[in-house]
Amino acid sequence: MEPVNVGIVGCGTISDAYLSNADQFDQYRITTCADIDRDRAEAKADEYDVAAADVPELLADPAIDIVVNLTPPTVHAEVCTQVLEAGKHVYTEKPFATTVEDAEAILETAVERDLLVGSAPDTFLGAGLQTCRSVLDEGRIGRPVGATAVWTSPGHERWHPNPDLYYREGGGPLFDMGPYYVTALVFLLGPARRVAGSVGRAADERTITSEPRHGETIDVEVPTHEAGVVDFESGAIANVLTSFDVQDSTLPSPAFELYGTEGTLCLTDPNEFDGTVEVSGHDTDGWEAVPHTHEYTGGRGAGVADMALAIRTGWDQRTSGELAGHVLEVLAGIRSSSAESEYVTLEPDCERPAALPPEFPDRGPDSTGE
């Protein structure tokens, strides 16, 4: 198929993951990058041999079909709306937005303008979690009963050069790392119907120990230790824990498992496209490694290829705005439950994403993905 032209808005650290990986995909090509800091856009453009532009210039370019939004979370909704109003499809980094209301407004605008919206994480398109889905769909662990998802750390200020955004609106461990786990769980188990949660934070300030801002203090505006229980429409129940307040632990991080009536599935790290899949059940002698059923083990950008296929063919988009909106609803519901001391009932507007064909993203122009 004819590749879709892509422009990037936001030339921070995460842009390298998209720009360096784009040559793995035949479905699209990155032509332009833009940033509110023109010098930063030009430096990134020179590094990756693409054009540099101001943001309004990129949005006005009729040759660009998709804009990848890599701005800070606090402006995700604003930039997504600007892209849609400019008549372009938009794919954004996680979290989809900082509020459920903003997410709903984005989706409404997309429908009004007959445009597609997509969102990271796209890691569930990789061989690791697609193989987990194959194991589940084959019935190897029976009916799913529950899951455990744990990600803990002492905080991003220990390694990130500018960790401020992780402690501001749109940040916190649940909004930062939670999208990987909850997206994977919805892909495996289907949509959630209600959530409960309890959240808190260990300190109102953090001291940066990474360079170049070693010793500088930053304010903490969001929870930093967040625990939730997610009830799925399928009947499964997941425990989710994310934290920036765990200094050390004997438990692995991540710890990600799915429990069924006939066995247990050890899930891969949802922040990776690869990983070892293992099953333990009535018919195994302990843990048994499962060979990958799918091919893609690359990096970021699979979700953009997913969107490009949906634009050019009859492909069923997996990394849809509806999925991302539901994931945000789960995450926000955990925090809301803590504040209100009650369960939060959800009304999901998405379905369980379809499994991928094993050869994704290497598909011909006549493929439908159905």
Written as tens digits, the pLDDT of the chain (370 aa) is: 899 999 999 999 899 999 999 999 999 999 999 999 999 999 999 999 999 999 999 999 999 999 999 999 999 999 999 999 999 999 999 999 999 999 999 999 999 999 999 999 999 999 999 999 999 999 999 999 999 999 999 999 999 999 999 999 999 999 999 999 999 999 999 999 999 999 999 999 999 999 999 999 999 999 999 999 999 999 999 999 999 999 999 988 889 999 999 999 999 999 999 999 999 998 888 999 999 999 999 999 999 999 999 999 989 999 999 999 999 999 999 999 999 999 999 998 899 999 999 999 985 444 444 4
For residue 251, the one-letter residue type is L
Distance between CA atoms of residues 201 and 223, nearest Å: 5
- What residue ranges in 10-95 does DSSP mark as E strands? 28-34, 51-53, 66-69, 89-92
How many helices (H) does the chain have, and how many strands (E)?
Answer: 10, 17
For residue 222, give the 3-state DSSP assignment.
coil
- pLDDT of 116 reads 98
Whether residue 173 has a cis bond before it, omega within 30° of 0: no
Task: With beta carbons less than 8 A apart as the criterion, state whether 142 and 263 touch.
Answer: yes
pTM of the full structure: 0.95
Closest C-alpha among 247, 123, 141 to residue 181: 123
Task: With beta carbons less than 8 A apart as the criterion, state whether 18 and 8 touch.
Answer: yes
Q: List 89's β-bridge partners, or say none.
A: 66
Structure token digits, residue 274: 């690869």
Cα torsion angle, 249, 252, 258, 260, sign: negative
Which residues are CB-contacts of 369 (< 8 A; sequence separation ≥ 6)?
Answer: 309, 313, 314, 315, 316, 354, 356, 357, 363
Distance between CA atoms of residues 78 and 259, nearest Å: 40
- pLDDT of 363 reads 52
- pLDDT of 284 reads 85
- What residue ranges in 78-186 does DSSP mark as E strands? 89-92, 117-119, 144-152
Distance between CA atoms of residues 188 and 354, nearest Å: 10
Q: How many CB atoms lie within 10 A of CB 45?
A: 20
Task: With beta carbons less than 8 A apart as the criterion, state whether 308 and 68 touch.
Answer: no
- pLDDT of 252 reads 86
Distance between CA atoms of residues 27 and 240, nearest Å: 35
Distance between CA atoms of residues 286 and 283, nearest Å: 9
